Amino acid sequence: MYRKSYRAWFECISGCGTTYPLNEVVYRCGKCGDLLEVRHDIEALKQKSPTYWAELFDQRYKGNEWPYGSAVWGKKEMVCPNVANENVVSMYEGGSNVFWADRLGHEIGVEDLWVKQCGNSHTGSFKDLGMTVLVSMVRQMRAEGKNIPAVACASTGDTSAALAAYCAAAGIPAIVFLPRGKVSIPQLIQPLANGAITFALDTDFDGCMKIVQEITAKENIYLANSMNSLRIEGQKTISIELVQQFEWEVPDWVIIPGGNLGNVSALGNGFLLMKELGMISKLPRVCCAQAENANPLYLSYLKEFMHFQPVTAKKTLASAIQIGNPVSIKKAIRVLRAMNGVVEQASEEEIADACARADRTGLFTCPHTGVALAALFKLVARGIIKPDERVIVISTAHGLKFTDFKLKYHQNQLEGITPRLANLPIELPADFNAVRDRCLKEIERVSK
Ligand SMILES: *Cc1c(COP(=O)(O)O)cnc(C)c1O
Ligand SMILES: [Zn+2]
């Protein structure tokens, strides 16, 4: 079934034509210094019909044939055909539920609203989708005899958790650089538990990024940040899987939170690839949602992407996107232009509010998903998203990684935020009558 003839390689995004094999340790173009992206032999993929690919992917989906049951590796020919199956490091990525946000949609006036639960995964964020590809390629290179003693990343929390887990599963040393005091306790404990060499540096994410780039440039340590475009290839399966889950029907809108902007680029690439192969006949519109406190893409969007100016990111509840100088800026602008995309921003209060509203309808949202939901509310209110359009919101992490934020919301401890939907335990003595009376009163209250 699997043919070795499918090929992929690194190519400079500037169009200068420089290419490298995927098993070379390289992150930037040697000629012009621009970022690299993974390119596929489209002609080889086009030898098969769109129906062939759809049926093959459906047949593998969540099955048990190694490694194709993983929804990333189930699309291996379009992701990373260069890795031998025995070197794949997989934890059955993807295949996450699309939650039908029936009640929330009804509240805001969109009847066909869905939330793609990418945080329901091994380490609790979509970062697993890309990390499985990157760490598999490292294992392949090590098997080929390349000297790669370790893999490193800078992280706002979720990338390091994914890197640590995949490296631990493969027996490869992992090094993570975190901004001290800026990641949640669950995010900090994940790499520690998985045995990663963990540095907490007195800086922000952008500062950690600078250090990891210097270290990986001078030692043989492999860089796992999303400027390494292998990760984009895995993340791009989000869009393929989304369409697959709707029987290969394309939604009208996809809303996704963005920080370093690798994920929105990946999402766009997935749709553009499917279109090129004839698997879909139209493209959805994409909204990249940013926190107002870390909004360089939004500011550039206001100027029709003619200028881009990095910002110093301010503190935001959406800590994983507190990034002022996104590495994938060019890639993101390219896909947003190709897909008639928009950029929206959300204030801290809008983020907290959106999370609380969504949670009341059965979700358990992380603050980044809150950024995307807040953007959704605004686009619907402005009439840009129409009531009958199918909208998919990408949820990027599991809410359980951000319980501190949620608890503080309900305890009214978030500065500058009025918790309109706070819900706290009712403290009563263990007395039957008192409990019954209060119980009946509360049922009446919540049933209104
Ligand atoms: C990494 C991350 C993002 C942002 O993705 P980028 O590719 O950096 O734009 C959003 N939400 C969560 C939970 C993340 O971990
Ligand atoms: Zn180049």
- Give the CA distances from residue 70 to residues 172, 192, 388, in Å, rounded to whole numbers and listed in that order: 21, 26, 33
If pLDDT is split at 50, 70 and 90, which confidence band does 181 have? confident
The answer on pLDDT for 4 being more than 80 is no
CA separation for the pair 57, 39 (Å, rounded): 20
- Residue identifier of the C-alpha nearest atom 2 of ligand 1: 320
| pLDDT beyond 60 at 3 | no
- Using most ligand atoms within 8 A of CB, pick from 187, 368, 371, 402 the residue to mutate for ligand 1: 368
- Across the range 389-411, mean pLDDT stands at 97
Cα 371 from Cα 353, distance rounded (Å): 10
Q: Return the ligand 1 atom nearest residue 259 CA.
A: 9
According to the model, what pLDDT value does residue 139 have?
98
Q: Among 178-187, 249-258, 307-316, where is mean pLDDT lowest?
A: 178-187
Mutation pick for ligand 1 pocket among 126, 129, 205, 400 (CB with most ligand atoms within 8 Å): 126
Q: Which of 117, 122, 125 for mutating ligand 1's site (highest number of atoms within 8 Å of CB)?
A: 125
Could you read off the pLDDT of 13-64 as tens digits, one per residue?
Answer: 999 999 999 999 999 999 999 999 999 999 999 999 999 999 999 999 999 9
pLDDT at 156: 84
pLDDT at 1 over 50: no
Q: Calculate mean pLDDT across residues 318-347.
A: 96
Residue 122 alpha carbon to ligand 1 centre in Å: 16
Mean pLDDT of the region 126-155: 97
Distance (Å) from CA 256 to ligand 1 centroid: 9
Residue 130 pLDDT > 80: yes
User: What is the rounded CA–CA span in Å between residue 382 and residue 246?
Assistant: 27
**Which numbered ligand comes closest to the C-alpha of 28?**
2
Q: Distance from the CA of 43 to the center of ligand 1, in angstroms?
A: 32
**Ligand 1 probe mutation, 235, 236, 260, 401, most atoms within 8 A of CB:** 260
Closest CA to 96 of 64, 128, 141, 50: 128
Does residue 283 carry a pLDDT above 70? yes
pLDDT above 50 for 159: yes
Q: Is 443 helix (H, G, I), strand (E, B) or coil?
A: helix
Kindly state the average pLDDT of the residues 214-231. 93
Q: Whose CA is nearest to atom 14 of ligand 1?
A: 320
Q: Are 127 and 150 in contact (CB under 8 A)?
A: no
| Residue at token pair 């440039």 | 217
Q: How far is the CA of 447 from the centre of ligand 1 (A)?
A: 37
Q: Is residue 256 within a helix (H) or strand (E), and if so which, with residue range?
A: strand 253-257
CA of 309 to the centre of ligand 1 (A): 20
Ligand closest in space to the Cα of 17: 2
Tell me what pLDDT residue 330 has: 96
Identify the band that residue 206 occupies on the pLDDT scale cut at 50, 70 and 90: confident
Percent of the chain with pLDDT over 90: 94
Average pLDDT, the chain: 96
How far does residue 14's CA lie from ligand 2's centre (Å)?
Answer: 5
Output the ligand 1 site: residues, CB below 6 A.
Answer: 125, 127, 158, 226, 257-263, 320-321, 366, 368, 396-397
Token match 């896909």: residue? Answer: 335
Alpha-helical runs (H) found in 201-236: 205-218, 230-235
Q: What is the mean pLDDT of residues 360-387?
A: 98
All structural domains of the chain: 98-124+231-410 (3.40.50.1100)
Tell me, in angstroms, the distance from the centre of ligand 2 to residue 167's CA: 30
Rg (CA), the chain: 22
Top mutation candidate among 96, 118, 120, 158 for ligand 1, by most atoms within 8 Å of CB: 158
| Ligand in nearest proximity to the CA of 155 | 1
Rounded-to-integer distance, Cα 10 and Cα 30, Å: 12
Task: Please report which helix (H) or strand (E) contains residue 378, including its range.
Answer: helix 367-381
- Ligand with smallest separation from the Cα of 130: 1
CB atoms closer than 10 angstroms to residue 241? 24
2: pLDDT strictly greater than 60: no
Q: Give CA–CA dist 371/49, Å, rounded.
A: 38
**DSSP string computed for 158-190:** HHHHHHHHHHHHHT--EEEEEETT-S-HHHHHH
CA of 112 to the centre of ligand 1 (A): 25
Q: Whose CA is nearest to atom 15 of ligand 1?
A: 158
Q: Give the C-alpha distances (Å, rounded to integers) separating 118 from 125, 170, 353, 366.
A: 6, 23, 21, 11
CA of 300 to the centre of ligand 2 (A): 24
Any idea which ligand is nearest the CA of 328?
1
Q: Are strands 342-346 and 285-291 parallel, antiparallel or unpaired?
A: parallel
Q: pLDDT band at 5, cuts 50/70/90? A: confident
Q: Is the pLDDT of residue 314 over 60?
A: yes
What is the arrangement of strands in the sheet containing 151-154, beginning at the earlier edge strand?
197-201, 174-179, 151-154, 222-223
